[in-house]
Amino acid sequence: MKITEQVAAFAQPVVESLGCSLWDVEYVREGSERYLRLYIDKDGGVDITDCENIHRAVDPILDEKDPIPDSYHFEVCSAGLERALKRPSDFERFMGSAVLVKLYRPRNGLKEIPGILRGYEEGCVTVEAGKETITFTKSEVALVRLRVEF
In the chain, what are the domain boundaries? 3-78, 88-146
pLDDT value of position 138: 94
**pLDDT at residue 9 in the model:** 96
From 104, 102, 87, 105, select the one nearest 143 (Cα to Cα).
102
Average pLDDT of every residue of the chain: 94
Cα–Cα distance for residue pair 61/52, rounded to 1 Å: 15
**Which tens digits make up the pLDDT trace of 83-141?**
999 999 999 999 999 999 999 999 989 999 999 999 999 999 999 999 999 999 999 99
DSSP label at residue 84: B
State the pLDDT at residue 49: 96
Give the distance, in angstroms, between the CA of residue 31 and the centroid of all CA atoms in the same chain: 21
Distance of CA 72 to the CA centre of its chain: 20
CATH class for the domain made up of 3-78 = alpha beta
Whether pLDDT at 33 is above 80? yes
Architecture of domain 88-146 in this structure: Roll (2.30)
Assess contact for 140 and 104: CB atoms under 8 A.
yes
Q: Where are the beta strands (DSSP E) in the chain?
A: 21-30, 33-41, 73-78, 98-107, 110-121, 124-129, 132-136, 141-146
What pLDDT score was predicted for residue 1?
A: 80
Q: For residue 54, what pLDDT is reported? A: 97
Residues with Cβ < 8 Å from 99, sequence gap 6 or more?
85, 114, 115, 116, 117, 127, 144, 145, 146, 147
pTM over 0.85: no
